[in-house]
Homo-oligomer: A and B are copies of this chain.
Amino acid sequence: MTTQQLTEQIKKKNSFLCIGLDVDLNKIPIHLLKEEDPIFAFNKAIIDATHHLCVAYKPNTAFYEAYGLKGWKALEKTIMYLNVNHPEIFTIADAKRGDIGNTSAMYAKAFFEDFAFDSVTVAPYMGKDSVEPFLAFKNKHTIMLALTSNAGAFDFQTKIVDGKELYKQVLETSKTWKNAKNLMYVVGATKAEYFADIRKIIPEAFLLVPGIGAQGGNLQEVCKYGMNDAVGLLINSSRGIIYASQNDNFATAAAGKAKELQEQMETILNS
């Protein structure tokens, strides 16, 4: 999918919501545990109930790896279900990978070709040759960690390097990499005012924004400083949506929470 197509979907649906599919078997409704594949059954129900309200889904690979082969199979079924039934949806493998060149190329193959995700998240610590193998894939997107939404973000990301914060160095340096146009960035919502500076460095790139809601981020503020002409934002919510209820009505409850966010987004897009 191209970024133009993503923006078109956002405008069509009046939503720039991304739903995180972080499936924890201890948190899903008990009746699903007797399904042959409880993780996929949960995801399918959530997708069926919410796909008209969001433009992206983001399974975090950790939650699938934690269940071994069964988890990996559930991830495969989930991405296949999305690609077959909802090709208009932007899919994100939240994997935070990154390794030396030939190894990153293997990860890129796994996520872009075998699973056929539209995008994958990567970590910047190992630099240019750890990320460029991902960038080589046409119409695929590499979402690099810049400023994350967790407390540990302040351990290294905000430290000053050559007069500016490390995450800004990461943004600036990455712009010089081959096929940098295929980069998007993770920027946490916890400090909305940071978005103004970030937009000076990367005015056009899409930003994947965790941390709205449970982690304290404010949607209006993030949009005020972070939105660009192509919208340029994907706001992620995971637990706040998918675990809205643990009862039989979990999918409807999830859709209700997604609808709340979508309506706020519609108001912002129309203002």
Residues of A within 8 A of B (CB): 22, 24, 60, 62-63, 65-69, 72-73, 76, 94, 96-101, 103-104, 106-107, 109-110, 114-115, 123-131, 145, 148-157, 159-162, 166, 169-170, 173
Contact = CB atoms under 8 A, between A and B. Distances in A.
A127 B166 CA distance: 13
Contacts of A131: 152
Given A66-B109, A103-B62, A157 B72 contact: no
Contacts of A109: 66
Contacts of A157: 125-127
A140 B67 CA distance: 19
5 contacts: A22-B103, A66-B109, A128-B155, A155-B173, A159-B169
Contact of A148 (B72, B100, B154): B100
B129 A152 contact: yes
B63 A106 contact: yes
Which 9 pairs from chain A and chain B are nearest by CB? A127-B152, A127-B155, A62-B106, A66-B106, A65-B110, A129-B152, A128-B152, A100-B150, A66-B110
B155 A106 contact: no
**Chain copies in complex:** 2
Given A60-B99, A156-B166, A157-B127, A69 B65 contact: no
A62 B61 CA distance: 13
A210 to B, nearest CB: 8
A10 to B, nearest CB: 25
A180 B148 CA distance: 23
A157 to B, nearest CB: 7
A97 B96 contact: yes
B124 A156 contact: yes
A72 to B, nearest CB: 5
A129 B153 CA distance: 9
A107 B67 CA distance: 10
Contacts of A66: 106-107, 109-110, 114
A232 to B, nearest CB: 23
Contact of A129 (B107, B125, B128, B150): B150
